[in-house]
Structure 1
Amino acid sequence: MGGLRRSSLLIATAVLCVSGFVVTGRIIGFDRAVLLRSSQGVGADTFVDHPVYAIVEGAVVLVVVFLHAWRTRPTVAVLSIAALLVVFEHAAFYRPHTMLSRADSVQLMLILSAIMVAGGLLLRLRERSREALAAAAEERARRDERLDMARELHDVVAHHVTGMLVQAQAALVVAEQDKAKACAMIPGIVEGGTEALGAMSAMVRTLRDNGAATATTDLTADLHRLAERSGLPVRTTVELTEDVRPELGRSVLRLVQEALTNVRKHAFDATSVEVDVRLGASAVQLSVVDNGRTRPAHSGGFGLVGMRERVHELGGRFFAGPTGEGWLVTAELPLEVRA
């Protein structure tokens, strides 16, 4: 469609140049129109010599100049505008005028053409700026989507696979002394793998549904179930007097899940883990604290980064760090979305 409009503009430019020269020749004589000495023109009493015609003709030329400066490619625009100016500055100088002198007509045409070119270039720059902003916004949206996918992948895979890894390592240790007991641990590993596959399938379905994530329908029950399946000595306190919005409940669940995963991965000697989730006046407050001391340096990895990003996207506050007797993760998530 854009190419068709540009072709139409080029055709209009050619027609204007030809008609402008023909009208000039009709008024002053074609031999004089090509700068040859000759007799008088033949159109002194014709319609094309009327001031109204000159005004309409000039307005059409200026509109085409404006459209070239706005729409066509720079090289084509320069050549087309130059051709129009040559033809109609020639006409402004050689045609007889009743309102303006020749010099005034030439200057007026130049000034108005410059204004049209400036206006067209301004609109061109404005459109390019809008396109650049739209492209940047699209790229930001894609980046945010990739980050959300990365966080979801990390949360789901790390949680389930870590549980399987811990059970497998324990089975290896136990197998040296009691093979029967080690074999008894295998169903737990299989169950963890099954849950991992189920979680991955659910995440893929969510992504296929344009990221419309399905949130928990019973946050309290899901938090207790998560603690029970973590394989850790967790004491869970959940005080939610009312339902929270779905995306907020899902984020709370993911934050607790990632915090427990970090405990299993890094707090090797933890004998106590406390999960506390409460509903305040304007925010959901959660904390996960353990008493593990053998946490290696830089143990947070991408988990803490993902948790911090998730909380900040919801307009909340996040902290994670040592307490002197273990490790603490806290977050405060506002009940309402902040503008």
Structure 2
Amino acid sequence: MTAPLRLTRHAGVALEVLAYLFWLAVDMVQAVSIGLPRGAATTLAGCVVAGIVLSRRRVPLDRVVVPAFAASLLFSVVSVALGAPSMSFTEQLALAVVTVVALRNASDRRVLWVAASALAAIVLSPVLRTPVAGTSDAFSVLSALGWGGAVAIGLVWRETAARRRAALTDARSAERMELARELHDVVAHQVTGIVVAAQAASVVARTSPDDVDRALAAIERAGTDALTAMRQMVGVLRGGEEATRTLGAELGEIPDLIARFDPSGGLVRLRANPGFAHAVLPAGVAATGFRVVQEALTNVRRHAPEATAVEVEIGIGAEELRVAVRNDGARARREGGGGFGITGMAERVAALNGTLTAGPAGPGTWAVDARVPLR
């Protein structure tokens, strides 16, 4: 427990105890006015129930709620039989507190039981117990209002907590989806590069044995890049030195991405605004642009290995970032086939209120076009 949270908890306990002491003093004044035996029993009832409610910080709440209500009802039954105790203000406050806390934490099936038990304990107390002269009706109305207020506060607190849990669940789900997309982007791109390099090495080994070393070096570079990317991601997740980084990349990394994809420089052509690598864009926009290019190039490797021309276009306008990747040599794709790459790209872009299209752009041509607003 953090220091601020501990301080807040201790302050809450102190305020609750002070409230009990205040109403205990009122009970003692009442005890003097109605006589010692009956007044002492009233004060004792308030102390017993308040003590039970305060123990909830030490024992499970279930072991507090039932004894608190049961003790209050028992005192009411004793009052009917013996004429004491009367209604205790300390006891009423303690019952209201335990009602609020119980409703906040009770399961859906027990909410009605808690409210009904509180009604019996709080509202019936001034009705069943020996009244103080001229106060029975007033105490009955005040007790009913107190019960209604406690139930209302407990239910509102319960709803607030439920919404907070739902928001936390949604945030965790969104974070898991983000990590899944990042993992897919990094691993799929790097591993696909390794597979392609290994296939190329196999061909080279048969046709040009002298070039095998260069092919193996390409595989080694691809594996090293994959390990570096995974270490960076794990560093972010573990909260170490890498935690100051974001999981995303920047537009300035696109030329290096293209160089790794096309070492010879004869396949991919990059068209972009001058100085695009240093453009200052809203949070997430640059990383999304990079991931779109990365996934599109990965899909070229997978689905268009015979491609002879790939064009990457980066356009930064006044209103939007446009990222487009076009390639020839595209094979027909089965409906619903492939992995989650296009879906992940579309989710990334949509999260920034952008649009993405991916599909055939002519015979044997495939195009990916993403537009992300800058405002």
Scaled by the length of structure 2, the TM-score of the pair is 0.68
- Other structure's SS at 2:288 match: helix
Alpha-carbon contact 1:20-1:88 (below 8 Å) kept: no
Whichever of the two has the greater Rg, that structure is: 1
Alpha-carbon contact 1:274-1:290 (below 8 Å) kept: yes
- Other structure's SS at 2:255 match: helix
Residue 296 of structure 1 pairs with residue 333 of structure 2? yes
Distance 1:8 1:59, change over 3 A: closer
Alignment of 1:294-333 (within 5 A): 294-297=331-334, 298-325=336-363, 326-333=365-372
Structure 2 match to 1:238: 272
More displaced stretch, 234-243 vs 154-163: 234-243
**For 1:150 and 1:306, how far apart are their aligned partners in 2?**
9
Residue 275 (structure 1) shift: 0.8
**For 1:305 and 1:276, how far apart are their aligned partners in 2?**
21
More helix by share: 2
Residue 284 (structure 1) shift: 0.5
Would you say how many aligned residue pairs link Structure 1 and Structure 2?
Answer: 306
Residue 276 of structure 1 pairs with residue 310 of structure 2? no
Alpha-carbon contact 2:27-2:88 (below 8 Å) kept: no
Structure 2 match to 1:226: 257
**For 1:296 and 1:199, how far apart are their aligned partners in 2?**
29
Residue 24 (structure 1) shift: 8.1
Structure 1 match to 2:216: 186
Residue 16 (structure 1) shift: 9.5
Residue 267 of structure 1 pairs with residue 304 of structure 2? yes
More displaced stretch, 58-67 vs 124-133: 58-67
Structure 1 match to 2:246: 213
Over 4 Å off, 4+ runs:
1-9, 14-25, 27-30, 33-37, 57-65, 72-87, 90-93, 209-212, 214-217
AA matched with 1:234 = V
- Other structure's SS at 1:301 match: coil
Alpha-carbon contact 2:118-2:147 (below 8 Å) kept: no
AA matched with 1:308 = A
Residue 301 (structure 1) shift: 1.4
**For 2:161 and 2:171, how far apart are their aligned partners in 1?**
15
Distance 1:199 1:216, change over 3 A: same
**For 1:224 and 1:234, how far apart are their aligned partners in 2?**
10
Structure 1 match to 2:43: none
Residue 71 (structure 1) shift: 2.9
Q: CA RMSD in A?
A: 4.0
1:26 aligned to 10, 28, 35, which one?
A: 35
Residue 181 (structure 1) shift: 2.7
Where in structure 2 are there 5+ consecutive unaligned residues? 1-8, 40-78, 104-110
**For 2:228 and 2:174, how far apart are their aligned partners in 1?**
25
Distance 1:91 1:267, change over 3 A: same
- Other structure's SS at 2:133 match: coil
Alpha-carbon contact 1:273-1:288 (below 8 Å) kept: yes
Residue 129 of structure 1 pairs with residue 159 of structure 2? yes
AA matched with 2:254 = L
Alpha-carbon contact 1:68-1:77 (below 8 Å) kept: no
**For 2:178 and 2:244, how far apart are their aligned partners in 1?**
9
1:146 aligned to 164, 176, 188, which one?
A: 176
Residue 193 (structure 1) shift: 0.8
AA matched with 1:226 = L
Distance 1:306 1:7, change over 3 A: same
Residue 270 (structure 1) shift: 1.8
AA matched with 2:256 = R
Distance 1:80 1:177, change over 3 A: closer
Structure 1 match to 2:193: 163
Residue 116 of structure 1 pairs with residue 149 of structure 2? no
Scaled by the length of structure 1, the TM-score of the pair is 0.74
Distance 1:157 1:263, change over 3 A: same
**For 2:38 and 2:310, how far apart are their aligned partners in 1?**
101
**For 2:157 and 2:27, how far apart are their aligned partners in 1?**
32
- Other structure's SS at 1:244 match: coil
**For 1:114 and 1:211, how far apart are their aligned partners in 2?**
56
Structure 2 match to 1:96: 133
Q: Deviations over 1:149-174 (max 9, x none)?
A: 11111111111111111011122133
Structure 2 match to 1:102: none
